[in-house]
Amino acid sequence: MTDSDLDQAAAVFTTVRPRLFGIAYRMLGSATEAEDVVQETWLRWQTCDRDAVRDPAAFLATATTRLAINELQSARSRRETYIGPWLPEPVDTSADPYLGAERGEALRLAALLLMEKLTPNERAAYVLREAFDYSYPEIADILRSTDAAVRQLVSRARKHMAGERRAPASTSAQRDLLTKFIAAARSGEMAALEQLFATGVTSLADGNGRYQVSRRPVVGAVAVARFLAAMSWFWDDVDVRWANVNGQTCAVLSSGGAVYGLLGITASAEGIEQILWMVNPEKLRLSSL
């Protein structure tokens, strides 16, 4: 391979790289694992017979998706030993605006969490169709399947995604609820907290065994309000700043000048449905928030 050939290969790859990362990240819920998949795709692109590739973008998307499916299967096996709830690794979308630029679907933390229950092929088909608008024949080629089978995969995935969540609140309403939630949590007022919650609200904290982090979901408006009221001390030395994370407003929590955690919510017309606490130091370090 000449330097000229490699430069041309790099130019083609660089053009489609943001999309490749977007596919891999939505498939895996981990920016770190997605970067590994994209790097492996680059290695394959270097060594393949590129003269025989009629559509480089399609070839690279296919390689990325298939590698992500393989990685997802092994990642799920690794997560079986995870301590407490697992949440997707957050991505600062203000620093990487392209990630949500094409279509924002399947990017928010709650959506990525829901997709963990899909099969790898359902997840791939859903991501390619909903987030990147690939046609059914294109997805069939990528998954080595048929048009009809892909339509079934997407249909099942859509039903699962729609069936387990209510229509989301608007961006402004979500941020307003998050602001009110933090104020109520600081005060420790149970009544004020309960008023913000949907009946089946769930609090999930990803700490992977971190000290003083709940290792089980807390479910129900009363239980969550009681839990938060009991830990009002947590907010004494915590500073809050806003960040655009996975296409939505989240709160970055700092203590002593260092980032302690990330707080996001899922909300509907009924109130806050989920409270998501990312306090795993490794994931916070990798997300560069």
Crossing angle between the packed helical segments 147-163 and 136-143, to the nearest 10 degrees: 100
**What is the helix (H) or strand (E) element at residue 198, kind and residue range?**
strand 197-206
* Segment (H or E) for 47: helix 31-47
Determine the pLDDT at residue 74: 86
Mean of all residue pLDDT scores within the chain: 92
Specify the pTM: 0.91
Give the mean model confidence (pLDDT) for residues 97-104: 67
pLDDT tens column, 215-248: 999 999 999 999 999 988 899 989 999 999 999 9
pLDDT of 163 above 90: no
Tokens 């307003």 — which residue? 176
The pair of structure tokens assigned to 79 is 């997560």
| 101-143: pLDDT as tens digits | 666 678 999 999 999 999 999 999 999 999 999 999 999 999 9
Cα separation values, 232 from 57, 78, 85, 252, Å: 51, 34, 22, 17
What does the H/E/C string look like for 199-247? Answer: EEEEEEEECCCCCCCCCCCEECHHHHHHHHHHCHHHHCCEEEEEEEECC
Q: What is the mean pLDDT of residues 8-20?
A: 94
